[in-house]
Structure 1
Amino acid sequence: MVHQWEVLKRLPRPECSPERARAAAECVTPIQSAATVVLVDDTARVWMMRRVSSMVFAAGAWVFPGGRVEDDDVDPDPIRAAAVRECAEETGVELDPHELLPWMRWTTPPGHPRRYDTHFFVASGIGREPQNPSTEADAARWWRPSEMLASSETFLPPTRAVLIELTDHADWDSVRRATEGRIVEGFTPRIIERDGRFHFTYPDETGVWT
């Protein structure tokens, strides 16, 4: 049994400015539901896209296919329906909702122009050929998680969390087994003050923010 808290222990706790901390404290940005699909091939590579620089959220960052839940995403479940739709729109890959295996759930911390309660799913990309049909990305390709982590490319903390954990797996079957009995609970990173400096923090399985 795997708990998502375990990978949070492996994330850095970056320092942030007092201005960023103040913006977080004063934030009133509404939270929207969203879904993300991590396509994994037979060697545990993942399909990622680089968002164009004009995007309001995560401009220039490498991300997994996904987006917010729309009003038409209703069957059989709004979150899974959004995941299937976004994957088709952004990669051309058609998935069955039952192929989506829950992996992580992460809410954008306060202080961002847009905030999402994002459900991350993993799904097999074996035998599939993702493309880049949307206008939201200027590049797309398969990445080995270790290569992306070692690169100078831009990506967000939840993307880092997924990549870090996937470095433990050599193939899709290993990733699939890691979803069996997996405990996925939503959380929002916090900013706390330590010795006069502000840091992003994450919870552990006991609810303590480390």
Structure 2
Amino acid sequence: MTVPIRPASTVVLLRDGEEGLELLMVRRNRALAFAGGFWVFPGGAVDDADRAQCGDDPDEAARYAAAREAEEEAGVSPDPAAMVLISHWTTPVGERKRFSTWIFAGEVAADAEVVIDGSEIHEYQWIGVTRALDLHRAGELPMMPPTYITLCAMARYETASDALAGERETPCPRVLPLLVPVEGEGKFATLYPGDVGYENGDMDADGPKHRAFLSNGSWQYQYQGVSEPPLYPQD
């Protein structure tokens, strides 16, 4: 059965905190079928009203959707025109639900009040990027690979303006991962273009490694010997 791919959008809301760049993360209701209990950025499906604002341009419809979802899920209103597209992800083949998801970044005022609905979203926190990555690696901030990769990309910046300027100059990766079960562990890895196993799912073959995998409950991004660009600039 062919699973339809739904357009969706999310936005990484940024602010300058007392200790540097912070971003807003929200936790989805554990009862939700998709990403229940995971920490994410505000977002959701693109709807007809979003498309109507931009003459059916899919990138622009996604921009309006991200701003609208930020308002609906967190009570925060970023300026759509000032948001920067940082990546685009398509859910791997084989998943029961598939999305074509644009990820934007946008700055909001340091004192912007966050209001969550208590239904789909149960918790929120403004958090420094390094702190978020540390908590995830300690098993305290469960998330999906695109969220983890986005945090790694944001870790390069000190301020919100730096992040937006930097991402305007960074090529936007458009990613279709290959989902591969990890035998005997009940887990999975996601392979990206350039990985030796991207075409056939053979993770053990000798060759370039471009993938994300779980290690001790947290994601790790591996980029080794790959001719394709990384998902975020490497040191």
TM-score (norm 1): 0.77
Match of 2:123 in 1: 139
Match of 1:172 in 2: 160
List aligned pairs for 1:1-210, cutoff 5 A. 28-42=2-16, 43-74=20-51, 75-76=53-54, 77-127=60-110, 128-133=112-117, 135-151=119-135, 152=139, 153-191=141-179, 199-204=189-194, 206-207=227-228
What RMSD, in angstroms, separates the aligned Cα atoms of the two structures? 2.7
How far apart, CA to CA, are the structure 2 residues paired with 1:85 and 1:29? Answer: 26
Residues 98-139 of structure 1 show CA distances to partners (whole Å, capped at 9, x for unaligned) of: 021111111111222211111100000233222213521111
Q: Is the 8 A contact 2:9 2:102 kept in 1?
A: yes
How far apart, CA to CA, are the structure 2 residues paired with 1:115 and 1:167? Answer: 28
Unpaired runs of 5+ residues, structure 1, are: 1-26
Residues 18-60 of structure 1 show CA distances to partners (whole Å, capped at 9, x for unaligned) of: xxxxxxxxx7321111110100111211101110011121000
Matched AA of 1:178: G
Unpaired runs of 5+ residues, structure 2, are: 55-59, 195-225, 231-235
How far apart, CA to CA, are the structure 2 residues paired with 1:208 and 1:138? Answer: 36
How far apart, CA to CA, are the structure 1 residues paired with 2:37 and 2:179? Answer: 24
How far apart, CA to CA, are the structure 2 residues paired with 1:53 and 1:89? Answer: 19
Structure-2 change in CA distance of 1:191 and 1:52 (3 Å)? closer
Name the structure where strand makes up a greater proportion of residues. 2
How far apart, CA to CA, are the structure 1 residues paired with 2:150 and 2:77? Answer: 22
